[in-house]
Amino acid sequence: MEKLEKLSGFAGRKGPLLLIIMDGVGLGRQDDSNAVSLANTPTLDRLLKGECFISIAAHGEAVGLPSDEDMGNSEVGHNALGAGRVFAQGAKRVNEDFATGHVFSGKLWNEIVERGKKGGAVHFIGLFSDANVHSNLNHVYQMIDRLAETGIRKVRVHPLLDGRDVGPRTALSYVQPMEEKLKQIRDSKGFDYVIASGGGRMNVTMDRYEADWNIVKRGWDAHVNGIGRKFHSCTEAVNTFYTEGVDDQYMGAFVITDDKDEPVGRMEDGDSVVFYNFRGDRAMEISKTFDSGPEFNKFDKGRIPNVLYCGMMEYDSEAKVPKNYLVQPPLIQNTVSEYLIREKITSFAISETQKYGHVTYFWNGNRSGYIDKDLEYYEEITSDRIPFDQAPKMKAIEITNRTIELLNSGKYRWGRLNFANGDMVGHTGVMKATIEAVETVDSCVCRLLSVVEKLGGIAIITADHGNSDEMFEVKKGKKTLKTSHTLNPVPFIILDYGYQGEYKISNVGRPGLSNVAATICNLLGFEKPENYDPSLITFVK
């Protein structure tokens, strides 16, 4: 890893550099579907008219996803921001191993097959859609086909219904084809392939950053022990929740029972479990639960069958979670933080629980913990455990207050923070709350800019992807709620309080999130690393 070279004519400013990530705030159509444009945002409006503003890509190939039809997400967005380069990510990385068949040639897959041949069931748990954000059902279909071809007689599927990265009530479009697929295998081969349990992603199994372990407990109880609301099919469960006014992502835990009202999918000794999400944040806690020994104290697991557990990918390379995984994740080394630490540049990172891992773990190339605790400071503000539309301010004010303290301390040359509001409230689909969320962020950004100005520093304002910029779609004249991320670009803004025309926005072909790291290096007075994507600024000779 080479050292950074200092710029010959620019050493940065006397004050700190602050990177503000407005999570989920993209640049969409200026119409009544756009909570960002409907919100009262005097600060953002002013910044978008500034000299150092451009829009940058935050989805698709610009962040390492398979195509530009794939929406960005916070994981790949923060990877790209921190890495300064584009890596094959998520679905693209997993697709490579499925395309070559490599996923089926490893020791771990062979161990799953051997357990299956001895009578053990193979369980698949994960987000049940094809959105390419956390998972893709196509991978599950390929694994099921492979098991059926190999003669494995018992498979259990445990769907975690999406309704967030896809439409809010689209579950049946994924559930019913899977039910039909499993029925065909039962009828043609006489194998025991069924859906066994499930629930909505925000209520069952897929908690993140230890915000609420009860979510994981509900999943463990349903998937492992067959404890939950009983139905005779997954379609019946979904339709019942719909009649009760519950959308996909908020459905409670359910289990499928046989004619004797017994759960069909309790896990037993000798079974195997594949958690097929490739994104790590909502896979960590359930993985720790399966991998843990007697030291586990988050909840009472009850019976603990002897199963082989694996994830689709390694979700944390430092903590080694999970112990077993099918696909190697991208190896992201030499992040911008690593480079700056080698130059003894002090920094801080701060967010609330919902996005804390994004400004630390994902930013640092999928590694948890400090790179150098003597030069870094990380702070997590605990998120509230209530629906985000009921408290759209979330912890933005607390983050702002603490960031101001950190800036005023004089200890840090640069810092980064994430305001989760635009994304987390945007996912609820509640327009009024999302507008309030965006307005809250705007007012907090204003307060932070005042401090950066007082200290003679520089602020970068951007986002990791869009969300609140498109709250509904109109298809064939019908308005449909949109709770997923968007394909829209995001703002990139520099506000330099010592600016005297030393640089200008550069002419980068299709600028994206991966160009930000080089820009950070420049604004701190360093040349970009040789292998980084180009900076978004060019210095005027």
Give the active site residues: 74
| Residue 475 φ then ψ, to 5° | -125, 120
Asked if 175 and 140 count as a contact pair (C-beta separation under 8 A), the reply is: no
Here the tokens at position 388 are 């985000």
* Total residues belonging to the chain: 541
Q: Give the integer Cα–Cα distance in Å for 418 and 23.
A: 6
Alpha carbon 15 to chain centroid, angstroms: 32
Neighbours of 68 (CB within 10 A): 12
CB-facing half-sphere around the CA of 9: CA atoms within 13 A: 8
* 361 Rama class: left (phi>0) / alpha (psi -120 to 50) / beta: alpha
Q: Taking the alpha carbons of 113, 91, 23, 539 in that order, is the dihedral positive or negative?
A: positive
Asked if 233 and 198 count as a contact pair (C-beta separation under 8 A), the reply is: no
In a 3-state reduction of DSSP, which class is residue 473? strand
346: closest CA among 292, 407, 299, 304?
Answer: 407
Asked if 365 and 335 count as a contact pair (C-beta separation under 8 A), the reply is: yes
| Residue 322 φ then ψ, to 5° | -80, 175
Helix (H) / strand (E) element for 537: namely strand 537-539
In a 3-state reduction of DSSP, which class is residue 532? coil
Q: Give the integer Cα–Cα distance in Å for 333 and 282.
A: 23
Asked if 267 and 105 count as a contact pair (C-beta separation under 8 A), the reply is: no
Long-range contact set of residues 239-248: C-beta below 8 Å, sequence gap at least 24:
239/172, 242/169, 246/200, 247/163, 247/168, 247/169, 247/200, 248/161, 248/162, 248/163, 248/164, 248/168, 248/169, 248/170, 248/171, 248/200, 248/201
């039909």: which residue's tokens?
180
